Structure 1
Amino acid sequence: MGEPHVVSALREKRAEISGAILELEKRMAQHRADLVHLDATLRLFAPELEPESIAPKRPPAARSHYFATGELARRCLEALRMAEGRVVAAEQIAVAAMRDKGLDPEDRKTRSDFIQRVLNTLTAQKGKGTVEKIGNGLGARWRLPAEPADHAA
């Protein structure tokens, strides 16, 4: 048999993971039961509706404890204003935010999280016409539109 402390730690980790799976399976079973009841109620009020045709909605991403409500959107817009028409990479905004928060930009996990949050924020702003996306994929850059979006329309 291998090292007793290694085996003990691995047994403990396995017990922890299998317990988490059991808990998730219980939650899934409850959600499935809730869905069956909801579908039956929908059929009472709208017999022509096929509940399975309703696309699933992804739950919202967990809020970041690094940013106050609206702070990241303000930071993104401020970075684009400071760029004075030049294009900016989401990573540049994320790294600046990390430095402002006193975090190490070399921390890959946190950096990746910040970049994804910046991208999500910029994409939401793009949908509102507040920012423009130039390019696609890893080479995508962002800037303020030449003509501000008309929010009165």
Structure 2
Amino acid sequence: MTDYMVEGLVKKRAELAGEIERNQDALHKLVTDLEHMDATLRIIAPDTEIEAIRPKVFKAPEDWSKRGEMARIVLSILRTARDPMTSREIAAQMVIQRGLAADQKMLKLMTKRVSTCLKTQREKGRALSSEGPGFHLLWVIKR
């Protein structure tokens, strides 16, 4: 094997070991916090069966975006658009791109999220809005 390959593998192994160590520290803190919570419950409500309390696991819905992903997709759609677009048109295109369920409920939710994202991008100076048909705003990317 070549030296640069070994060097890369060693570096990656060190990163993974560091990540495991950070996760173990975080896990230790969570276990300690849970023990303190249990002790507090035993003092305040001694008749509570702590073992009967089921863990609540958080699972993000499919329609959530990773950090910054929404803004990247919205700005990308605006960059490739020939004409100004409404937030609903952008949301419809986003639903198609991401392969989400194309029903009215999803479109309404994504329109609301796109609108919020666009307002933030306008504040940052990356997007511009103008009055469109009805009460809708037309959005373009700032060039």
| TM-score, length-scaled by structure 1 | 0.48
Counterparts of 1:101 and 1:138 in 2: how far apart (Å)? 27
Pick which of 66-75 and 112-121 moved more: 66-75
2:105 alignment partner, SS class? helix
2:90 pairs with 90, 93, 96, which one? 93
CA distance in 2, matches of 1:64, 1:126: 27
Cα shift readout 1:57-99 (whole Å, capped 9, x = no counterpart): xxxxxx8652111111001111111025x21111111111111
Structure 2: 5+ residue runs without aligned partners? 1-59
Do residues 144 (structure 1) and 141 (structure 2) align? yes
1:126 equivalenced with 2:122 (yes/no): yes
The alpha carbon displacement at 1:118 in A equals: 0.1
Distance (whole Å) between structure 1 residues aligned to residue 73 and residue 91 of structure 2: 9
Question: TM-score, normalised on structure 2?
Answer: 0.51
Gaps of 5+ in 1: 1-62, 149-153
* CA distance in 2 between partners of 1:120 and 1:90 (Å): 9
Question: Could you say which residue in structure 2 is the equivalent of 1:36?
Answer: none
- Give the total of aligned pairs: 82
The Cα shift of 1:101 comes to 2.2
Q: Distance in 2 between matches of 1:83 and 1:135?
A: 17
Residues 1-153 of structure 1: pairs in structure 2 closer than 5 A: 65-66=62-63, 67-84=65-82, 86-105=83-102, 107-135=103-131, 138-145=135-142, 148=143
Compared with structure 1, are the counterparts of its residues 95 and 101 closer, same or farther at alpha carbon in structure 2 (3 Å cutoff)? same
Deviation at 1:122, TM superposition (A): 0.2
Q: Map Cα deviations across residues 12-31 of structure 1 (whole Å, 9 max, x no partner).
A: xxxxxxxxxxxxxxxxxxxx
| Aligned amino acid, residue 104 of structure 2 | R
How much is the aligned-residue C-alpha RMSD, in angstroms?
A: 2.1
Structure 1 residue 139: deviation in Å?
2.2
Partner of 1:34: none
CA distance in 2, matches of 1:141, 1:70: 22
Q: Percent identity?
A: 27
Contact map agreement 2:92 2:107 (CA 8 A) in 1: yes
Residue-by-residue CA offset, 1:3-50 (whole Å, 9 max, x unaligned):
xxxxxxxxxxxxxxxxxxxxxxxxxxxxxxxxxxxxxxxxxxxxxxxx
Partner SS state of residue 135, structure 2: helix
